[in-house]
A and B are shown apart, each in its own frame.
Chain A
Amino acid sequence: MTEREEGVVTEREASPTGGGAQGGSVDAPLLEAPADTVAGEVVLRLTDVVKTFPGVRALDGVQLEVRAGEVHCLLGQNGAGKSTLIKVLSGVHQPDSGQVEWRGEPVTFANPQAAMRAGIATIYQELDLVEDLSVAENAFLGHEPRRFGFVRRGQMARRTRQILGRLGHAEIPPNRMVRSLPAAGKQVVSMARALSHEARLIIMDEPSAVLAHDEVGNLFRIIRELTAQGIAVIYISHRLEEIREIGDRVTVLKDGGTTAANLPARDTPTRELVNRMTGRTIEYVFPERPTGTGAAEADLLVVEGLTRAGEFADVSLRVRPGEVVGIAGLVGSGRSELLETIYGARRAEAGTVRMAGRVLRAGSVGAAVRAGMGMAPEERKSQALLLGEPIYRNVTLATFARYARAGFTDVGRERAEADRIADSLELRPRDVRRPVRTLSGGNQQKVVVGRWLLGDTKLLLLDEPTRGVDVGARAELYQVIRSLAEQGVGVLLVSSEVPEVLGLADRVLVMREGRVVREAPAGELDENTVLDLVMAGSLMEGAAA
């Protein structure tokens, strides 16, 4: 692979894929690699880029250097700032300070179209294709070849065919509906769109996440084709093995800043990469764990052999009253799906969920709530809150019927109960009549958790409880979770932030590719071990999907 860093570009230009088409007279110099890029030349350079959102410093001095014809890997934990960085590069966000240099000139992209025109294409994990348009229509969406306002369908199809050929996928018919293509095919169409814009830099956000493992090889082949033509690729993946296979250089992000730039992808030891990703500067403050009581108590939640095809398989776990059990795993490891299935929001295909000895009806949230379960789901705004409604009505969303008399709601009692919760959670602002939408993320999360402090919740399922929550409110939430456990509530916690799981939970389950790969008391695990387990996902094991 090293040979492509030397002069393969010129060889590619002369190749039959590149030169074999007629119609060059029209306006399509697409077939050749951008002539003015030289392999190895720095096309993109970021210096001290900062981007803040209310309450969060998402990017805090990012350095990045990408050369033409290389695969530059971005590595970092969830929340390290990768997605914000992509959005800055693709023109969705504008940096607050720092410099973005594109092909030697400082630039700011006002919007995604500007970035696209400059030659930066982004392929998001959830592909932004129009399912009911053809391959060619998707490839040229928004900039169709036109004459007198009419789309030149023949030319569009021909140019699409050329691009697909260039990607090594000449077998995809340009007039095929995108809906009918498999995930891998759709990804190729996304790349074809990038090439139709003559992109010089293609950003790929976890492209392998949607692919089966034999398709990943094909993806790598395409990436090699692209880089051989002098196109730079920014490749984001959690799978270290992929980075080793396809990557040239690695930049590591942590807490919004670059901790290591331009490491050789193949030779840098895993230990070093993981160290660069962890070793935090922000120290989380976790409450003390009580020592050694409650071990004798009977299990509160017993899950046995729980399975949903394509999401997770044969998961068994137990939670005792007063115990905090943490599940560590990446997005896509099946952890959120597992939590929702335990809660009855998804129907288990096999296996049982038992609360205090009684088997719960599968796929019934009502049964789970009646048995004393409560859940704070992953997507606070879309899954948990009525944003326009007052705080107290959100707090009592699961319990208002209990305070009602003969079907008539008791707003006074509801407000009093919500006030009590707001006091104990130190909700700010404190007025429970305010609409929930006016609260910060951390306080919104308190409302969701507070909902289950009313009534007689015995088991609390928390999915990413601190996502989008600032550091101060985090510490408060940790305190709330711990004090709940001290009152005998069982807690099952999912988080992609390993330190959080380790700091908060009594016992930890590590999930990867839909299976529990390790279970141990939190004291026996450290961050590096868990990260190794979580990220080890090799291509062979990726077949779970």
Chain B
Amino acid sequence: MSDVTDTSTPERPAQLPAQSPPVDPAETAAAEQRAAGRLSWWRGEGGEGARRNLWLIGVLVALIVIGIVTRPDLYGNSSWVWSNILVILKLASVVGVVSVGMTFVIIGGGIDLSVGAIVALSGVWATTVATQSYGAGGMIFCALAVGLGVGLVNGLLISYGRLVPFIATLAMLVAARGLAAELSDKQTQVSNNTTINDIASTNLLGIPLLVYILAAVVIAGWVLLNRTTFGRRTVAVGGNPEAARLAGIDVKRHTLLLYALSGLCCGIAAIMLTAQATSAQAAMANLYELDAIAAVIIGGTLLSGGRGTIIGSLLGVIIFSTITNLFAINGLTTEAQNMVKGGIIVAAVLVQQLQFRSLTQFLGRNRLTTN
């Protein structure tokens, strides 16, 4: 790619004898102007993320079209359509919150397989008889603290214990579920706290509170990733850890924080899920790690780290819940649904790679001809 772009600068220093002045300044200025003109927001930074997200919106539209074609009776009813949108968003909310944390971990060059287990452990811990005696505030604090604490342990093992993220979080997956089963004595713990249970049933302005929580977490995640030093460090640590380290960034500490953040998101998700079920048990949030990772990858985040968007992950989660919804309204089994989801993951990543590559080539060619 680089040589393609190189040719756009006719004043390439390679052809210069060492002493000569760097070409005609007027020509340079003109070339720069051309470059600036081509480099619109769409082409430049952020543009790439937006291009990828556009593709995801296309998939979403296609899914809705399939819905309209298969169930025209339902889609003919506008109040049903609106309530169905809310159903899909509500369905997406819990995994969506987990995916925001996962996006940070993956952009930072890691992976967190333990998110489902952390949700379960946080939920179970927050609904023990002892914790429930502290009321809603105590339960929420407990869930967040457990999530954050487990995330910190993950981070410590990975950054300072130098465990491979895959192994450390795989071990945590097993251990956290084990602890959750132990705490709950393998029983389903019913939440008797109406404040907690109301989180799932409350609507504000006709929109479920859960959707507001998802929106708040997504917005906070977006700001954190794109507008703060934390986000900048995340991209640097994931994109080139050695370069980040040699630029004076504390890579280990930052890695620790990334897993803590993921754990915190799991704590939030645990409250949401417990509220929805009005109970918690060790087997809850089963395979959430797969849903979250799949959503993040579909959303265009590089599994090798260094690049990704929160909005992409959100769209990935929404696509998944739309598929679930599509199968539900057509009365199809979850087995078929899982097969289609697997196919979608592969197809999405393949198509994105192709699309990105050909787009780059196309723009590269275009640029040559405009010169």
Contact = CB atoms under 8 A, between A and B. Distances in A.
A175 B246 CA distance: 42
Interface in B215-248: 227-232, 235-236, 239-240, 242-248
Given A365-B246, A440-B12, A451-B247, A285 B227 contact: no
A375 to B, nearest CB: 6
A473 B31 CA distance: 19
A345 interface: yes
Given A440-B14, A472-B13, A476-B13, A384 B243 contact: yes
Interface stretch (B16-24, B137-145, B257-265, B343-351): B16-24
A429 B248 contact: no
Contact of A428 (B1, B11, B240, B248): B11
A473 B13 contact: yes
A54 B3 contact: yes
A369 B245 contact: no
Contacts of B28: 428
Contacts of A433: 39, 44-45
A283 B236 CA distance: 39
Interface in A419-453: 426, 428-431, 433-435, 437-440, 442, 451
Given A285-B19, A377-B246, A398-B247, A388 B228 contact: no
B22 A426 contact: yes
Given A284-B18, A430-B35, A386 B5 contact: no
B307 to A, nearest CB: 6
Interface in B1-59: 1-3, 5-6, 8-9, 11-20, 22, 28, 31-32, 35-36, 39, 44-45
B198 interface: no
Indicate the size class of the contact surface on chain A.
Answer: 35 or more
A471 B35 contact: no
Contacts of A393: 232
A343 interface: yes
A307 to B, nearest CB: 22
Interface stretch (A106-114, A249-257, A399-407, A507-515): A399-407
A474 interface: yes
B246 A343 contact: yes
Contacts of B239: 386-389
Q: Which of B5, B8, B15 has the most CB atoms of chain A within a 10 A radius of its CB?
A: B5
A390 B48 CA distance: 12
B229 A429 contact: no
A136 B230 CA distance: 51
17 contacts: A54-B3, A282-B18, A383-B240, A384-B247, A386-B306, A407-B228, A409-B227, A409-B229, A431-B32, A433-B39, A434-B39, A440-B14, A470-B13, A471-B14, A471-B17, A472-B22, A475-B19
Interface of A: 54-56, 282-285, 343, 345, 365-366, 368-370, 375, 377, 382-390, 393, 397-398, 400-401, 404, 407-409, 426, 428-431, 433-435, 437-440, 442, 451, 470-476
